[in-house]
Amino acid sequence: MSLLARRWQATSLTLRSAILFALVAALVVSAAGGYLYNAMRQEMIYRSDLQVTGRIEYYRNVLSKRFPLDRLVANTGMFENMLGNEQDVLIFRIQGQEPLISVNPGRVQLPSVTPTPSDHPQLLSAVRTGETRQGVPLRVASGLVKLEDGRVLQISVAHVMVNEQKMLARYLWRVVAAVAAAFLVIALLGYWVMRRELRPLRRMAAEAAAITPSTLATRLSEQDAPQELQQLIVSFNAMLSRLNEGYQRLTQFSADLAHEIRTPVGALMGQCQVALYQSRSVEEYETLLSSNMEELERISRMVENILFLARASNAQSALNYRSLDMALELQRVADYFEGLAEERGIRLICEGEGQLWADPMLFQRALSNLVANAVRYADEESRIILRVGTEQGRQVVEVINQGPAIAEVHLKKLFERFYRVDAARSSHASGLGLAIVRAIMTLHGGEVHARCHPQSPAAQIVFSLIFPAREEKNAA
């Protein structure tokens, strides 16, 4: 059964829809034909009952008007002509005696029927059903009439529904033929209609098949698309935009990574070539090794940061959440960078307090990267403020420093990998610190933003770590 289901699912959608539509139509036609067939059958039974009860009432009236019974018995052929159906049955019987009149050419065995009393009208509800030996249905009724001499005559009438049965059989075959014809015609028309109406889907599939990595900027056309496909086209185009953005970012990342690694590798090769060109003193070799060690450490940090970003982008394990004392955490980071800050005459100030639900190690790394960035680029003899607060129920940690203004176009790209506002400073950092901050905030379900407020004489740069409320995190 599962194999048939899989084959059915793999069948053309146009063919499946046409077949299902034809089946539904066939069921509707069958239901309508069945209703009409049953209505016709009930009408024939009703007319047969009227015929049977009408004959009993007729003979009752005749005999109740002092019509001689002997005269009726003497003209039995007249009854056969009156019945009009060679299969119908008419029996006159004095109770307790042999039948006086018995018109029964088909030798039909009548079922037992309780006769209607002479003083009661002959109702349709008194008619009973039966069946001949050949399986033909019949309608039977019986009534009593009191004769002039005081005797009671029982009149039994039966109508054999031979013609009705033949007519119903012909009608049934016509219904079956109509259902089969309706199925075939509607299936063919449905297939044609579905193929015609699915042309926009085939056009969309052709457009999608033509998209390659080099043409990710192409978008599916919404022109003349039906309403049901417009949402799909919009979603598909949005997916293409995300893929194009990710592809461009990956391309740029690969180029930047190659450039970043080529610089220290080139420096190492150049220094080694110069050292090998001629013999050097021990002190010169030591200086060369020390310089090479610095470049290798830079490469090592870069590789470590890239691996961290790769793990953060595909994080599978849960973070080690704890409740952190924000005043203590801010002060710990400030104490760590105090020596570097004093070299440039910068003061680190911590403000605010509270509790934060986060991974301690990742939080320290994110905050340290922001403070390191602030110490590196802030104006000398300025202040760096580490502030904690709340905003709409969310915990916000801010790092504020004074420095050169950053244009809005750069603020949106600060957290991209290897992005630098000033390319001339490429030798001082790998360009991955702020990207790591964004990755850490993504793991926490939070956000990171950068703002620049132009002031005199220097602008105020604000980096904000926005953590979700603890209830939101638990719900997630």
Cα angle value 306/273/263 (rounded, 5°): 25
Pairing of strands 89-94, 152-160: antiparallel
Pairing of strands 355-358, 322-325: antiparallel
Pairing of strands 355-358, 383-391: unpaired
Q: What percent of the chain is predicted at pLDDT more than 70?
A: 83
Contact 471, 357 (CB under 8 A): no
Contact 110, 158 (CB under 8 A): yes
Question: How far is C-alpha 53 from the chain's CA centre?
Answer: 63
Q: What is the mean pLDDT of the chain?
A: 80
**How far is it, in rounded angstroms, from Cα 120 to Cα 322?**
97
User: Which stretches of 278-419 are DSSP H helices?
Assistant: 282-313, 326-336, 338-343, 360-377, 408-411
Residue 215, pLDDT > 50, answer yes
φ, ψ of residue 280 to 5 degrees: the values are -125, 165
Of the candidate ranges 49-53, 133-137, 295-299, the one whose mean pLDDT is the lowest:
295-299
Residue 265's pLDDT is what? Answer: 79
Decide which of 3.30.300, 1.10.10, 2.60.120, 3.30.450 is the CATH code for 1-168: 3.30.450
Sorted by where each begins, the domain ranges of the chain are 1-168, 227-311, 319-467
Residue 316's pLDDT is what? Answer: 47
Q: How confident is the model at residue 11 (pLDDT cuts 50, 70, 90)?
A: low
Segment 320-367, tens digit of pLDDT: 888 999 999 999 999 988 888 898 899 999 998 889 888 888 888 889
**How far is it, in rounded angstroms, from Cα 336 to Cα 329?**
11
Q: What percent of the chain is predicted at pLDDT more than 90?
A: 9
Residue 426's pLDDT is what? Answer: 46
**How far is it, in rounded angstroms, from Cα 384 to Cα 377?**
11
φ, ψ of residue 353 to 5 degrees: the values are -155, 170
pTM: 0.48
Sheet holding 447-453: strands in order across?
347-351, 383-391, 394-403, 459-467, 447-453
- Amino acid (one-letter) located at 105: P
**Tokens 């079956």, residue?**
176
Segment 105-163, tens digit of pLDDT: 778 888 888 899 988 888 988 899 888 888 889 999 999 988 777 788 888 999 888 88
Residue 248, pLDDT > 50, answer yes
Closest CA to 140 of 87, 77, 84: 87
Segment 428-453, tens digit of pLDDT: 455 677 888 888 888 888 888 888 88
**Two tokens, residue 421:** 């506002």
The CATH fold assigned to 319-467 is Heat Shock Protein 90 (3.30.565)
**How far is it, in rounded angstroms, from Cα 468 to Cα 444?**
8
Residue 9's pLDDT is what? Answer: 63
Residue 390 CB contacts under 8 Å (≥ 6 apart), including other chains:
354, 396
Contact 411, 405 (CB under 8 A): no
φ, ψ of residue 92 to 5 degrees: the values are -105, 130
For residue 240, give Cα distances in angstroms to 213, 236, 404.
Answer: 10, 6, 37
**How far is it, in rounded angstroms, from Cα 75 to Cα 421?**
125
Other CB atoms within 10 A of residue 61 CB: 11
Q: How confident is the model at residue 1 (pLDDT cuts 50, 70, 90)?
A: low
Segment 179-205, tens digit of pLDDT: 888 888 888 888 888 778 778 877 888
Domain 227-311 has CATH 1.10.287: yes
Residue 75's pLDDT is what? Answer: 60
